[in-house]
Chains A and B, each alone.
Chain A
Amino acid sequence: MTEFVAPEIDWLALAPLIVVLGAGVVGVLLEAFVPAKARRMTQIVLTLAALAGGLAFVVVLWPQIVAQPVQVVGGSVTLTPFALGAQGIIAALAFLGVLVVADRTATGQDSFAPTASAVPGTSYEDLARRSGLEQTEIYPLLLFATGGMMLFASTDDLIVMFIALEVLSLPLYVLCATARRRRLLSQEAAAKYFLLGAFASALFIFGVALIYGFAGTVRLLEIAMAMRQGGLPLEGMTGLLVAGVLLVTVGLLFKVGAVPFHAWTPDVYTGAPTPITGFMAACTKAAAVAALVEVLYRISIGLGGASPEALRQLQIVVVVVAVLTMVVGTAVGSVQTDVKRLLAYSSIAHAGFLLVGIAGFNLQAQSSTLFYLLAYGIATIGAFAVVTLVRERRVTAGSGEDNGPVADDGIVLGEATEIAQWAGLGRKAPWLTAAFALFLLSMAGIPLTAGFIAKFGAFTGAVSGGLWWLAVLGVLASVVAVAFYLRLLVVMVFQPAPADSGVEPVETTPGVEPVETTPVVEPVETGVSTTTTATMARAQVAAPQRVVVTVVRSRGPAALAIVVCAIATVILGVFPSPVLGLVEQASKFVP
């Protein structure tokens, strides 16, 4: 028997991960020990502190890692400047995302069901709602997901990557199913996300198995080195490797939301609770793109030496996916009538722009994806935070004006996500509209916003990789994308608020939220489209009521998130050089 040698572990290098995942575990314990009244506040403080702590450790580690990247536990965590940068971005975006999640708005209700497991429309659900139950487990789940994302972006070991993929996905599947309103849509989104996500992970892990079969190891760097030097057990069977790399890439592209693996994106983004959508759109994309860049880069080192032909084929795959993603994202996005769905297609289009930068297989360009992820993530979280505040309110027909905060007579319902409902928002809430406009302009890539610098970086990457035509296509796709962002802006700022049409009898009992089961989308020309149909069988038919669009006040956190996102978007657009300098330092993928 050989003696057991304890591995040497650089705990400091693991600190960002340990803080976030450890706080998740502590959060689960808090559920058991903290009294119900104090639980929510405790969880929020713990979650925000953990994410800030993780970010602080990233900052502390930065100079050391830039000077000398480290491999911890034999490469299970490979902390290169790129990986550390991705960890920092994910922690920062998750912090902003949690702020939006934590906001209860002036209505005193957050976006999550009192008990997500209760069957919608039952007396049990009523009881849970009346007794003010809250599902505070969402905060530990958010921490686990964030921890998984941070690990996903910073490992060299494909098995660790697979486990990180599951650690980030499983909490997200659950979170998707927890919406307070439109619960059937929410559960449906969770089921779709879960089934397609599990399918993608299965493809990923089979790819890992094939790569293991070819190389006898699952460490990307070892595989790359071995391919260069030759002498692998199955030297001739490059087909095994190519199939494996393709399957792994497909698994990652699914998480990125690239066409043709995007089918889940619009449905899940629409059905999930809006704060979760923002978190998911920003952070998951950051993690998945960072992991994709690392895998492709390390594999390309090996393939470049062993079989340049296979590398070229891999590049063609990435280019084709990039083109399809941009075209489908912008084309289908421009005919959407729902704000959340529009933002979902915008996220698909952005996956395409990111892939344009990656497709060049150029070192500098790949690190510029970090800047893109930051710029896109900030704008996305901000935009979804705005969506959480624009609500439908049911008022008795003939009652007073609906400008200003929540009136006594109106019950605030779910979010008003039809684009037509956003007409006239510029008058009702000028600041909120301005912030939303800023986020949209940044996503569109208008100069003086972060999005412009980001897109410039991505397209420069493609050009320096010799793919100038792809960059031209990217610019054309951005122009189309600008059109659909502007369409939303025009509706918000220039169209008058919908007239008082759409009077309809609605069954309701005051003080009880209706449970929406079958969304009925009315023709848009009435100006007010309702997606609410109450199904409370025992409810009385009240006086004729109508649904108006209102802006609820934030209780602070979401407003803070929106302000921070707006300021960051402008600063990154006007003075990008400090951040670009950091990103340049991060262009180092190999320890």
Chain B
Amino acid sequence: MDITNYVVLAAALFAIGATTVLLRRNAIVVFMGVELMLNATNLAFVTFARMHGDVTGQVLAFFVMVVAAAEVVVGLAIIVTIFRTRRSASVDDVNLLRG
């Protein structure tokens, strides 16, 4: 199978993730969209690593995983704090700041 298909798949997953972030209203789901984007990036990294025949891309994927994990920790902490205050995780309810 042609290896460029994986790049196309990565781009498609990335686009789905970005659409999720822009369209969905639940903070957790928005956050999952971000995670999907990061994992699509990982797929692109390993595919390109395979194309170029060097391991840099695979190592980079590990870095992205670590960063994604750190982001989950901070992000969920913030979302849970808001949820405990308001009993809602919808980004539409979080609307005190505007103008």
- Contact between chains at A209 and B48 (CB < 8 Å): yes
Question: A212 an interface residue at 8 Å Cβ cutoff?
Answer: yes
Chain A residues, CB < 8 A from B81:
116-117, 119, 177, 187
Residue of A nearest to B39 (CB): A202
Q: Which of these binds chain B: A213-221, A294-302, A478-486?
A: A213-221
- Contact between chains at B45 and A191 (CB < 8 Å): no
- Contact between chains at A206 and B40 (CB < 8 Å): yes
Residue of A nearest to B10 (CB): A209
**How many Å from the CB of B36 to the closest CB on chain A?**
9
Question: A210 an interface residue at 8 Å Cβ cutoff?
Answer: yes
Chain A residues, CB < 8 A from B64:
162, 205
Residue of A nearest to B38 (CB): A202
Question: A189 an interface residue at 8 Å Cβ cutoff?
Answer: yes
Number of A-B residue pairs having CB atoms within 8 Å of each other in the complex = 130
**Interface size, chain A (Cβ < 8 Å):** 47
- Contact between chains at B75 and A194 (CB < 8 Å): yes
**How many Å from the CB of A280 to the closest CB on chain B?**
15
Chain A residues, CB < 8 A from B74:
170, 173-174, 194
Question: A255 an interface residue at 8 Å Cβ cutoff?
Answer: no
Chain B residues, CB < 8 A from A518:
96
Residue of B nearest to A199 (CB): B21
- Contact between chains at B78 and A177 (CB < 8 Å): yes
A195 interface neighbour in B30, B51, B60, B86, Cβ under 8 Å: B30
**How many Å from the CB of A343 to the closest CB on chain B?**
14
**How many Å from the CB of B1 to the closest CB on chain A?**
18
Question: A490 an interface residue at 8 Å Cβ cutoff?
Answer: no
26 A–B contacts, CB within 8 A, in A order: A117-B77, A119-B81, A119-B84, A162-B64, A162-B67, A166-B67, A166-B70, A173-B75, A184-B86, A185-B96, A188-B96, A191-B27, A194-B78, A195-B21, A195-B30, A195-B75, A198-B75, A201-B67, A208-B60, A209-B44, A209-B48, A216-B54, A217-B56, A233-B51, A267-B97, A338-B99
- Contact between chains at A206 and B44 (CB < 8 Å): yes
- Asked, given contacts A159-B60, A205-B64, whether A187 binds B34 with beta carbons under 8 Å apart, the answer is no
**How many Å from the CB of B96 to the closest CB on chain A?**
5
- The 8 closest A-B CB pairs, nearest first, are A202-B37, A213-B48, A267-B97, A209-B44, A216-B52, A198-B34, A188-B94, A206-B41
- Contact between chains at A209 and B45 (CB < 8 Å): yes
Chain B residues, CB < 8 A from A194:
74-75, 78
- Contact between chains at B41 and A209 (CB < 8 Å): yes
Contact with A along B19-52 (1 / 0, CB 8 A): 0010000010011001001101100110110011
- Contact between chains at A187 and B82 (CB < 8 Å): yes
What CA separation (Å) do A341 and B98 show in the bound complex?
10
Question: A190 an interface residue at 8 Å Cβ cutoff?
Answer: yes
